């Protein structure tokens, strides 16, 4: 059996380490490269506690792609570098699985054009936890009947972007699930600026950043005499790995930009 060759970008970070562990444990996948600006020269086996990889972290993504010739790059870096990483991945003729959030709608349109030009598959997913994808699906369904909703998303204090990509994707799905658009309401008197959160697709989003958290989200719907809350908690980063592995295996058979893991689950 020919294994799927994988490079991990953002390898020294917490998500990168989990991805490398997960990839190494699969019989049909092979970790052939690791890239990060931190931890350059670090042996991946020593870093992850998984032996036999013979991979060390390098600093240059383009050079690593040229040397290792992977089938897929998995990117968990930062919003500050992800655009350039995607361009490097596509220019090298490699498929991509992107878990880095912070891309705007304009960025996605640009990446879609580059992906079509490259003739490869590129998945950009705000969240790889299967439960989080189901939460978003359920929220879209609930919005048909309870169109007024707010989102509270909670993440660790080192997360750069706010709101999270998951919250923004959820808001979009709520908007698309509504039977009709909401009538705008007069802005309330905010005694503290930002107390009502940010308004995205007519959904208020509240972002919490605290140490001790991983990734959590509540979607609260309100109706006459009732509320409905849909909640998902990722208590450990291993919760994202089944989705990442699913994406790696499927993206090599696809072309074009795919936004959201749910599109690979149907």
Catalytic residues: 155, 159
108 contacts: CB under 8 Å, gap ≥ 6: 124, 257, 259
Residue indicated by tokens 């802005």: 187
Task: Give the 3-state secondary structure of 4-29.
Answer: EEEEEECCCCHHHHHHHHHHHCCCCE
> Could you tell me the two tokens for 6?
């994988």
Give the separation between CA 93 and CA 122, rounded to whole angstroms.
11
* Sheet of strand 57-58, all strands in order from the earlier edge strand to the far edge: 57-58, 29-35, 4-9, 72-75, 95-98, 121-124, 256-259
Is 1 in contact with 12 (CB distance < 8 Å)?
A: no
Euclidean distance between the first and the last CA atom of the chain, given in angstroms as a whole number:
26
d(CA 189, CA 232): 31
Q: State how far the Cα of 235 lies from the Cα of 60, in Å rounded to an integer.
A: 32
Query: 252, exposed or middle or buried, with CB in 10 Å at 0-12, 13-18, 19+?
Result: middle
């Amino acid at each position: 059996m020919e294994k799927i060759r994988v490079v991990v970008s953002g390898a020294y970070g917490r998500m990168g380490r989990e991805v490398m562990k997960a990839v190494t444990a699969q019989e049909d996948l092979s970790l052939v490269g690791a890239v990060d600006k931190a931890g350059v020269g670090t042996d991946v086996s020593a870093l992850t506690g998984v032996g036999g990889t013979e991979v060390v972290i390098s600093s240059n993504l383009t050079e690593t792609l040229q040397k290792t010739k992977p089938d897929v790059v998995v990117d968990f870096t930062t919003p500050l570098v992800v655009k350039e990483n995607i361009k490097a991945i596509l220019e090298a003729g490699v498929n991509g699985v992107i878990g880095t959030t912070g891309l705007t709608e304009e960025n996605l349109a640009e990446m879609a054009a580059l992906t079509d030009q490259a003739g490869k598959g590129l998945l950009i997913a705000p969240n790889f936890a299967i439960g989080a994808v189901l939460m978003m699906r359920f929220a879209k369904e609930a919005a048909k009947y309870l169109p007024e909703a707010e989102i509270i998303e909670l993440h660790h204090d080192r997360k750069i972007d706010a709101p999270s990509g998951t919250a923004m994707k959820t808001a979009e799905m709520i908007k698309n699930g509504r039977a009709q658009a909401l009538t705008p309401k007069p802005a309330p008197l905010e005694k503290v600026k930002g107390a009502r959160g940010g308004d995205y697709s007519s959904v208020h989003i509240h972002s919490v950043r605290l140490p001790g958290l991983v990734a959590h989200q509540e979607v609260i719907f309100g109706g006459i005499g009732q509320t409905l809350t849909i909640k998902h908690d990722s208590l450990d980063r291993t919760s994202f790995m089944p989705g990442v592995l699913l994406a790696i295996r499927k993206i090599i058979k696809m072309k074009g930009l795919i936004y959201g893991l749910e599109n690979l689950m149907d």
